[in-house]
Amino acid sequence: MQVVTLITTPKERNLDAALVDNLRNAWGGGDANWLAVDEAAEFAIPVAPDNQWDVWADLQKGCVDLVIQPLEGRRKKMLLADMDSTMIRQECIDELAAEAGVGARVADITARAMNGELDFEEALIERVGLLKGMPEAMIEQVLDERISHMPGGYELVNTMKAHGAYAALVSGGFTAFTARVAAALGFDENRANTLIAANGKLTGDVGRPILGKAAKVDALKDITSRLGLSADDVLAVGDGANDLGMLELAGTGVALHAKPTVQARCDVRINHGDLTALLYVQGYSRDEFVT
């Protein structure tokens, strides 16, 4: 048995009941279950339809995300999340670079790395090198003035935790950022790279080994092994090419507002909903959210 979930942006809340019913009838689905009025609905179908991606493309034009997945086992026991452009709106290294006066140069490298055009580790080393001499104290300033959480992140983490799940933040960014974000959102642990400083200034280098694509896969394997879980028990979410390993290994890998190359390799794509969409995908209704 498969479950079809339809989700629109929480700001507009304009999911049309007629659209849900028409699709349900076309695919021979069961009764519609509204997870949030005008925002998210689901229904069960016997098998995934052949025209799934054609319908997905049509629905995207109306700001509706479509997810089809097995009904059994969709509620996960672990959340593994990327940070930059996933749990926060920004790329932390781009924000540091903007303060250091090299914002445009670093942002271009970041965009190419996240789209898979550049090797992640080499790109990180190059970008961090451009931060050499930046006062270490400016990290706190960037955190205070430039970093904001992605909508729905607190609800996602804490609703899953309230139902017994474990939450880990794993980033190719930096520990100074993941520590603050993890504490604010309620993650159980965080892993990231370490910016090296000396005499109050960044040295332009980053600690080794660098946490990149392979390290995110290793984190998934390490944490699930420690908790007695399997990869199938994991919901992973990210947006960049360095997230693909963990997204493809996890039971549910979600491409959230992701780069085109990432979306192309993920069956669960959220382009219009916020992070609460990951709760709807698991069958949580809005009145179950921890806020």
pLDDT digits (tens, 9 = 90+) for 185-228: 999 999 999 999 999 999 999 999 998 889 999 999 999 999 99
Q: Where are the domains of the chain?
A: 1-72, 76-291
Four-way CATH pick for 76-291: 3.10.450.630, 3.40.50.1000, 3.40.190.10, 3.40.91.50: 3.40.50.1000
Considering only 13-17, 156-160, 224-228, which range has the smallest mean pLDDT?
A: 13-17
Whether residue 255 is predicted with pLDDT greater than 90 in this model: the reply is yes
Average per-residue pLDDT in the chain?
Answer: 96
Answer whether 1-72 and 76-291 agree in fold.
no
Percentage of residues of the chain with pLDDT beyond 70: 100
pLDDT tier at 120, thresholds 50, 70, 90: confident
pLDDT at position 113: 86
pTM of structure: 0.95
Percentage of residues of the chain with pLDDT beyond 90: 91
pLDDT at position 237: 98
Please indicate whether residue 84 is annotated as part of the active site: yes
pLDDT at position 180: 97
Q: Pick the catalytic residue: 84, 243, 267, 274?
A: 84
Residue range 6-26: average pLDDT?
95
Q: Pick the catalytic residue: 65, 82, 233, 274?
A: 82
pLDDT at position 15: 96
pLDDT at position 9: 94
* Tokens (6 digits) for 63: 């700001």
Q: Which CATH class is domain 1-72?
A: alpha beta
**Among 219, 194, 196, 223, which residue's Cα sits nearest to residue 209?**
194
pLDDT at position 154: 98
pLDDT at position 115: 84
Where does residue 244 fall: left (phi above 0), alpha (psi -120 to 50 degrees), or beta otherwise? alpha
**Among 268, 250, 271, 248, which residue's Cα sits nearest to residue 259?**
271
Please measure the distance between the N-terminal and C-terminal CA atoms of the chain and give it in whole angstroms: 31
CB of 96 within 8 A of CB of 131? Answer: yes
Write down the residue that tokens 């400083």 correspond to: 197
pLDDT digits (tens, 9 = 90+) for 52-67: 999 999 999 999 999 9
